[in-house]
Structures are given as C-alpha cells and as structure tokens.
Amino acid sequence: MEHVSSQQLSGPRRRATRSILAVGDDRPSLNALAQPLGQLGYMVVLSDSSGQALELIAGRGFDLVLLDRTGDDLGGLHMVQEIRGSRDTADLPLLFLTARGEPDAIVQALRAGADDCVAKPCDFAVLAARIERILGRAARIDTLKRSNLALDARIAARAIELGEMRADLVSARADRARLIASVQGLHDELDRLQSRG
C-alpha cells in the first residue's frame, strides 16, 4: 500500500481533499494514475488486491474507488458486489478501468454495480472528468440523504407532537364529560330541592 499525498487545488474554489482508493495488480499503472490525480488535489491510496482494498474501505472512508481491471478479474467483480452488498458502502462511487476491446468486461462491471467504466489506455482528461462527474453525483446523493434524514426527524417530531395533542384532546374531552355530568348532577339536585319547596 502506498500513499500519494496531494495538494489542494489553488484558486477561488478550495475544497476538502477527496480520497481515491486505486486498486489493481499492475503497480506501475496505478502509480501512473496516482501522480496526476494527486496534482488535481486528490489523495490517492494504492492497493494491490481486492481483499486488501476491502479492508481499507472498512477501516476508513474513501470518496471513490478506482478499480483497474486486468484480464479476467473475477476478484474485482466480487469486490464490487461486496461493496454494493454492504449498507455502509452501498453508495460508494466505483469506477472501473478496462482494456479496450472488452465490451463484456464493461457490461459485467456495470451489472455488478460500477458507476462508470473507462477503457484503457484512456485520455487522462476524460478520466478526470468522469471522476469529477461521479463525485459530483455522489455529493448530490449525500445532500439528498441528509435532507431526507432531517425531514424524517421533523416528521417524527411532528408525529410525537400530534400524539401528545391527541392525548391532551382525549383528556380534555374526558374532563369536559365529567364537568357536564357534575353540572347535570347539580342541576338535578337543584330541581329536586325546588320541587320540595
């Protein structure tokens, strides 16, 4: 495992450094991706195997997993299924890199749950744009989830308030019924006393 540190983008829009876990068995290829991604402001962590990558994902959060698929990489597909099968990582953005001329690999990766696939060798600007698009969509989904959680909390609070109001209403109706019965009893007693006298 190797950490490639990065600097944040300079300019008017500074943002927190986002992390990418790059997984594959071709270390020179991963290094070749990590360096320009680091220059774009990403913190890139490299992993040589899907097993190690799954441990890294469980141990810390990543903003995106970049999976360099080589040949008949069933481990990579298994890794995608593991990530998608866990509630904690089901929405973790996944981008597959596949060799050109492997349409079946692209279909398998997308069916397994990859967010996007890029054929190698690829133009780095295209890869960077796709990463940015996937991360942008993930940020919008995260914002929507937080909004939904806040809305759920407000709905739950309103439901509790409504339950309390209903309980108060039931209690008030019971008090009113007792008061009416008491007034009726006094009225009956008054009628009885007047009829004697």
Amino acid at 160: I
pTM for the model: 0.67
Residues contacting residue 122 through CB under 8 Å, at least 6 positions apart: 97
Q: State what percent of residues in the chain have pLDDT above 70.
A: 87
Q: What is the pLDDT of residues 39-71, one digit of tens each?
A: 999 999 999 888 888 889 988 889 999 988 765
Q: Which domain holds residue 13?
A: 2-148
Assess if residue 174 is contained within a domain: no
Domain count of the fold of the chain = 1
What's residue 197's pLDDT? 66
With beta carbons less than 8 A apart as the criterion, state whether 23 and 50 touch. yes
With beta carbons less than 8 A apart as the criterion, state whether 29 and 12 touch. no
Assess if residue 135 is contained within a domain: yes
How confident is the prediction for the chain on average, in pLDDT?
Answer: 82
What's residue 9's pLDDT? 36
Q: What is the pLDDT of residues 1-39, one digit of tens each?
A: 444 433 333 333 445 689 999 998 888 888 888 889 999
